[in-house]
Amino acid sequence: MTHNASATTVFETERLVVRPWTHDEAEAILDTYSRLEVARWLGATPRPLENLDEAHLVVDQWGSRSEPDPTWGVWCVVERASGRPVGTVLLVPLRGGTNGEVEVGWHLHPDHWGKGYATEAARAAIERGFAAGLGEVLAVVNPDNDRSQAVCRRLGMEHLGLSEQYYGIPLEVFRIARG
């Protein structure tokens, strides 16, 4: 899949273009989220996607996350050089939050792990949140997901410890404050 010019760019970094997912990219979503090495870190009951119909439903669900506030979203991360989707970055109200907490997250296709794309996309998403007036952004990470915890540290996030407040499962909570 190549970059879809009709999809509105949400933000850009040196190497990445971030924009909404489109139905044209359902196969890319399926290719990423059908992999156990990706799905195992997501949700209270991880479940890999099984077919293209599920991937199309995901596009619809993620598209609705930016309504009514376009600050929020679950977006496609496109490698600028190739024009291909490499994964997802999100900035959304945190499920289980009690004080308007906002979560940054990232899910990359394993072929693109270790290239710094998660850190680059997440840093830009955090900056977007701060520009919209957020005072802080959280990340919640499976305690066994060493790679994502390392991304949190590279982002300069403070480790707050283990909590079951979000998503109803034990997660390591990280925080970064504006300024």
**5-29: per-residue pLDDT in tens?**
446 899 999 999 999 999 999 999 9
Is 4 domain-assigned? Answer: no
Q: Please, are residues 129 and 90 in contact by the beta-carbon 8 Å criterion?
A: no
Q: Is this prediction's pTM over 0.85? A: yes
Q: Is residue 1 part of a domain?
A: no
Give start and end residues of each alpha helix (H) in the chain: 26-33, 36-39, 52-64, 117-131, 146-154
- Weakest-pLDDT range from 26-30, 40-44, 63-67, 127-131: 63-67
Residue 2 lies in a domain: no
pLDDT in tens, 54-95: 999 999 999 877 666 778 999 999 999 999 999 999 999 998
pLDDT above 50: residue 168: yes
**For the chain, what is the domain count?**
1
Query: Which range of residues forms the domain containing residue 29?
Result: 11-177
Q: Is residue 5 part of a domain?
A: no
